[in-house]
Amino acid sequence: MSKNIGRRSMLRSMLATTAGLGVARYVDYLPFSALKAAQSEKLEKPKLRFGVVTDSHSANYKRGGSRRYTESLMKMTECVEVMDDHEDVEFLIELGDFIDGHSPTPPDCLEKIEDVFTGFNGPHYHVLGNHCHDDFSKEQFLGHIKNTGFDSAAGHYSVDHGGIHFVVLDANYRGDGEPYDSGNFNWTDANIPEAQVDWLRNDLNNAELPAIIFIHQCLDGSGSHYVENAAEVRKVLEEYGKTLTVFQGHNHSGAYRRIEGIHYYTLKAMVVGSGEENNSYALVEVNPEYIAVKGYRRAVGREMEIKGIPEPV
């Protein structure tokens, strides 16, 4: 029996033994098995489902503190297999800090975690994080990864799925406008250049669809974990009038905030803590009146009300 088949059999067994549990719809920190049971209830068919994960920090060295770099391959394998095991997951996206720097063999670490991530049976997308540039220039890192359906030549891009416009932003630029490059950056100095802000405004105006934004560094405040010109970017998202949610990483503890009707959900980091129980990733369901984040392991579940999603013209 293959490793993948064995793990999927285990997941189905866990689901079968917990199917009788009465699981609340609004839940945080559900055990893995109970969350699988909650998902099996299928209270209603969502408009769209996608998977999201962040801050795997995969590396082939051990380090003190709460991060367990060498376990991220195992954790990412679970994430991919669970998303494959679930019905109708449109795509899987990781929100940056895919690897951690200063490994003895950085290209090898990136190749291994990329092989696991792209094993998802569907489209897969990347967001650039600051640690992605510890050992690589932007061009070098982009040359080692694959985004489904187009050339990974830029850190910012957009793609449509199921009548939703998804936008990926890249805040890995210094305050002087220079891109992060192989350790030549300060992680607290994250900026979205004016050219990218202009691109975002034009991209949204041309899309005319409800939008969901992905970014590594945070947009919902100020401080070391936030984009320096976050307020400027938020204004563009607010003026568009159809921005539903921003999904972000970087802050390993996770967070949530709502500003001017837009939800800002920060997913907890995959790398924090040892063992399968300390994994973190989520299934997101886009429904006509709300977006549901169904968290696995340490990830926090949340339902976020939206005004409603118009059908595409």
SS3 call for 177: coil
Residue 313 lies in a domain: no
Residues 102 and 11 in one domain: no
Same domain flag for 11 and 130: no
**176 lies in the same domain as 290:** yes
Q: In what order do the strands lie in the sheet with 262-266?
A: 157-161, 164-168, 211-215, 243-248, 262-266, 255-259
Q: Collapse the DSSP code of 90 into the 3-class scheme (helix H, G, I; strand E, B; otherwise coil) and give the result.
A: coil
Statement to judge: residues 15 and 121 lie in one domain? no
User: Does the residue 197 lie in any domain?
Assistant: yes
The encoded tokens of residue 95 equal 């929100």
Please name the amino acid found at residue 107.
P
Which pLDDT score is estimated for 311?
Answer: 56
Instruction: Please report whether residue 270 resides in a domain.
Output: yes
Q: Could you identify the residue written with the tokens 């959900």? A: 265
Strand 92-94 relative to strand 48-53, pairing: parallel
Asked if 297 and 281 touch (Cβ cutoff 8 Å), the reply is yes
Q: Do 63 and 201 share a domain, yes or no?
A: yes
Residues 36 and 54 in one domain: no
The pLDDT score that the predictor gives to residue 179 is: 92
Q: Which two tokens stand for residue 5?
A: 């088949």
The residue that leads in pLDDT, 1 or 118, is: 118
Both 32 and 181 in one domain: the answer is: no
> pLDDT, tens digit, for every residue of 227-286?
999 999 999 999 999 999 999 998 988 999 999 999 999 999 998 888 899 999 999 999
Do both 17 and 161 map to the same domain?
no
**pLDDT for 88 beyond 70:** yes
Q: What pLDDT, on the 0 to 100 scale, is given for residue 101?
A: 81
The SS3 assignment for 33 reads helix
What digits encode the pLDDT tens for the residues 120-179?
999 999 999 888 787 888 888 888 888 887 766 689 999 999 999 999 999 999 999 999
Verify that 31 and 104 share a domain, yes or no.
no
Can you tell me the distance from the alpha carbon of 68 to that of 119, in angstroms, rounded to the nearest whole number?
Answer: 22
Q: Which domain holds residue 7?
A: 1-43
Residue 27 above 50 pLDDT?
Answer: no
Please tell me the pTM assigned to this model: 0.84
SS3 content of the chain, % helix, strand, coil (to 5): 30, 25, 45
Residues 6+ apart with CB under 8 A from 202: none
How many alpha carbons fall within 13 Å on the CB side of residue 29?
A: 2
34 lies in the same domain as 116: no
Task: Please give the Cα distance from 93 to 169 (Å, whole number).
Answer: 13
Judgement on whether residues 30 and 48 belong to the same structural domain of the protein: no
In a domain, 311, yes or no: no
pLDDT at 81 over 70: yes
Number of structural domains, the chain?
2
pLDDT at 291 over 90: yes
CATH assignment of the domain containing 267:
3.60.21.10
Q: Verify that 39 and 64 share a domain, yes or no.
A: no
Closest CA to 186 of 202, 171, 199, 205: 171
Whether residue 286 is contained in a domain is answered as yes
C-alpha–C-alpha distance, residues 295 and 302, integer Å: 8
Q: How would you list the strands of the sheet with 280-286, edge to edge?
A: 124-126, 92-94, 48-53, 280-286, 290-297, 302-305
**CA 284 vs CA 46, 49, 89, 106, 271: distances in Å:** 10, 6, 9, 31, 20
Q: How confident is the model at residue 185 (pLDDT cuts 50, 70, 90)?
A: confident
- Is 312 part of any domain? no
Residue 215 in any domain: the answer is yes
Q: 173 lies in a domain?
A: yes
